[in-house]
Amino acid sequence: MLGRHPMRKHEEFLRKFVRYRQKMGKKLGDITPLLDDTNAFRKAIKLMSKTFKNDKIDKVVGIEARGFIFGCAVSMELNCGFVPIRKENKLIFPVFRKDFINYRGKREYMEIHKDAIKKGENVLIVDDWLETGESINAAIDLIEKTGGRIKGISVFYDCSLPETRKKKFSKYVLQAVIRSHKQP
């Protein structure tokens, strides 16, 4: 049983709605039904964490903004620290910065505090959604600049193409609660 709805699957918690991404023509998914169901959200966090329970994770890194929701919960499950990767100019101490092209095709910048991760610390990257992989690639670059060792990537929903996963993430353990190359 998942949450308070005995027959619901995780996919059912991705509310489908007809709002298309600019230029991409792809539907967006909404995670708020999952967040509204305490038991289902708890189960999702356990599934996102399970693969990494024995990896001695020192820090979970969450990517702004929904990665903060999942990342904080996963860090509690793994009993380790949480580090946010933020959009540019949100952090006040010295940062590493990385540019990337977002899912709308626009250039954005992400930042991490230079002292957020100590050299050699084991890091798990957490986000809600993986599609193009650009933001996670930028996070990988930022974590490597701090000296952290990436132990894996955990997402709630992975709709990236198999060739994207192979090309960009083949050297990492990539955990997903839901995996489909189709849009919700």
Q: Could you say which DSSP state residue 172 is in? A: S
pLDDT greater at residue 146 or residue 5: 146
**pLDDT value at residue 104:** 80
Q: Helix, strand or coil for residue 53? A: coil
pLDDT digits (tens, 9 = 90+) for 84-118: 999 999 999 999 999 999 878 899 999 999 999 99
Residue 1's nearest CA partner among 36, 31, 33, 42 is: 42
- Residue 24 pLDDT > 70, yes or no? no
pLDDT digits (tens, 9 = 90+) for 42-84: 999 999 999 999 999 999 999 999 999 999 999 999 999 999 9
Q: Yes or no: say if 49 and 78 are a contact pair by the CB < 8 Å rule.
A: yes
Q: What is the dihedral of CA 184, 2, 37, 179, to 10 degrees?
A: -30
* pTM metric for this prediction: 0.89
| Average confidence (pLDDT) over 5-22 | 51
Quote the mean pLDDT of the chain: 87
Q: How many CA atoms lie less than 13 Å away from 70 in the CB half-sphere? A: 31
